[in-house]
A and B are shown apart, each in its own frame.
Chain A
Amino acid sequence: MNITIREHSEREHTIDLAVFGEIDVYTAPQLREKLLTLCQGGSHIHLDLAGVDYIDSTGLGVLIGAYKAQKSSGGKLIISGMNSRLARLFRITGLQEIMEFGPDNQEDGKS
């Protein structure tokens, strides 16, 4: 099981990144490497997770690392496209309160 990462940069100072697959201990290093390279570029990063149907604490850790790197360099990491499952994990872990999200994330349907 692998992940696919697609990169676009049509807008100025913004990189659009779309991830497809399952983000776990096996695939997270690939995403970490990609994100940390981009974080050094000084652009905002829009991360589209619509193609991600599974993420665990390793994947969340990568997103936390990228968020921190962006914050310290004055850039933004904006996450969009989360399904209700991912939204629930962001709520449980408290990341929902900290990180920045785009408008098209699904509702966290479970209380």
Chain B
Amino acid sequence: MREQPLDLVNLTIPAKPDYVAIARLAVSGIANRMGFSYDDIEDLKLAVSEACTNSVEHAYSGENGEIGLSCNIFENRLEIEVVDQGHSFDASEVESRTGPIQFEISMSLVRERGLGLYLMRSLMDQVDIDGDDGVTVRMTKYIRKNEVGSHVESPASYPTR
């Protein structure tokens, strides 16, 4: 049986550029409370923004829509789902041209979308993309203990059960 999260935070935002910062702030608050390090919180903010930006720019392409954000809080990790009901895309096709920018590749081939997916993969521990019916991005980041140079002052008053 699938492990149940300790807590679940759901947020629905309009699929518009001005709301991506709201998703980022919400995740930042949750991650801070869970005791993630400063760098890991920044990674989470960026990964969530990239997923939301993809929905805003590609799934709905100008049409009105919503983005669902589910933050599943576990003892040792945060699992985030970003869901839209917009146009699907072939995730494997996009990922095939994802990666760091290479010297040899002409700059004209650099695509923002590939960069966003690549960043999500680089910054999170696990990323799964399901593009069959709308797009669902599931990503996980584990809390790393004993991190040297952690900027988190207290490990948050998170209830341990």
Which A residues lie at the B interface, using CB under 8 A? 1, 22, 24-26, 54, 56-58, 60-61, 64, 67-68, 71, 85, 89, 92-95, 97-98, 109-110
Q: Is the CB of B21 within 8 A of A93?
A: no
Taking A64-B101, A93-B115 as known contacts, 7 extra A-B pairs with beta carbons closer than 8 A to each other, sorted by chain A number, are A25-B52, A26-B21, A57-B50, A57-B116, A58-B53, A58-B112, A98-B101
CA distance A110 to B46 in the complex (A): 16
Residues of B within 8 A of A109 (CB): 149
- Chain B 126-160, CB-CB to A under 8 Å as 1, else 0, gives 00000000000000000000000100000000000
Q: Is the CB of A95 within 8 A of B39?
A: no
Q: Is the CB of A92 within 8 A of B21?
A: no
The total of chain B residues at the interface (CB under 8 A) is 31
CA distance A110 to B123 in the complex (A): 12
Residues of A within 8 A of B52 (CB): 25
Q: Which 10 A-B residue pairs are closest in the complex by CB-CB distance?
A: A94-B100, A61-B112, A94-B101, A57-B116, A26-B17, A57-B115, A25-B17, A25-B53, A1-B21, A26-B18
CA distance A57 to B94 in the complex (A): 15
Residues of A within 8 A of B42 (CB): 54, 85
Residues of A within 8 A of B103 (CB): 94, 97-98
CA distance A68 to B105 in the complex (A): 13
